[in-house]
Chains A and B, each alone.
Chain A
Amino acid sequence: MTNEIRRLRSEAGDMTQADLADRIGVTRQTVIAIEQGRYSPSLEVAFKIARVFGRSVDAVFGYPSD
Chain B
Amino acid sequence: MSFQEKSTWVMLLLVTLVYGTYFVVVIGDVAAIPEVRDIAYRGMMLATVVALIGLAAGTHILLAIASPGEADKTDERDREINRFGEYIGGFVLAVGVVVGLGLTMLDIDHFWIANALLAGLVLSEVVAGFTKVVLYRRGL
CA distance in complex: A55, B71 (Å): 32
What 6 pairs between A and B have smallest CB-CB spacing?
A38-B139, A26-B75, A29-B2, A30-B77, A27-B2, A27-B75
Q: Are A45 and B139 in contact (CB under 8 A)?
A: no
B79 to chain A, nearest CB (A): 10
CA distance in complex: A28, B76 (Å): 12
Complex partner residue of B76 from A29, A36, A37, A45, CB under 8 angstroms: A45
A-B CB contact pairs (8 Å), 24 listed = A25-B75, A26-B77, A27-B2, A27-B3, A27-B4, A27-B70, A27-B73, A27-B77, A27-B78, A29-B1, A29-B2, A29-B5, A29-B77, A30-B2, A30-B75, A30-B77, A30-B78, A33-B77, A33-B139, A33-B140, A37-B139, A38-B138, A38-B139, A39-B140
> How many A-B pairs with Cβ below 8 Å?
37
Chain B count of residues within 8 A CB distance of the other chain:
14
In the bound complex, residues from chain B placing their C-beta under 8 Å from that of A37 are 139
Q: Which of A22-58 contact B (CB under 8 A)?
A: 25-30, 33, 36-42, 45
Chain A count of residues within 8 A CB distance of the other chain:
15
CA distance in complex: A27, B5 (Å): 11
In the bound complex, residues from chain B placing their C-beta under 8 Å from that of A45 are 76
A55 to chain B, nearest CB (A): 21
In the bound complex, residues from chain A placing their C-beta under 8 Å from that of B140 are 33, 38-40
Q: Are B75 and A39 in contact (CB under 8 A)?
A: no
User: Across the two chains, which residue of chain B brings its CB closest to A30?
Assistant: B77
Interface flags for A5-35 (1: CB within 8 Å of B; 0: not) read 0000000000000000000011111100100
8 more A-B contacts (CB under 8 A) besides A27-B2, A33-B139?
A25-B75, A26-B75, A29-B77, A36-B139, A37-B139, A38-B139, A39-B77, A42-B76
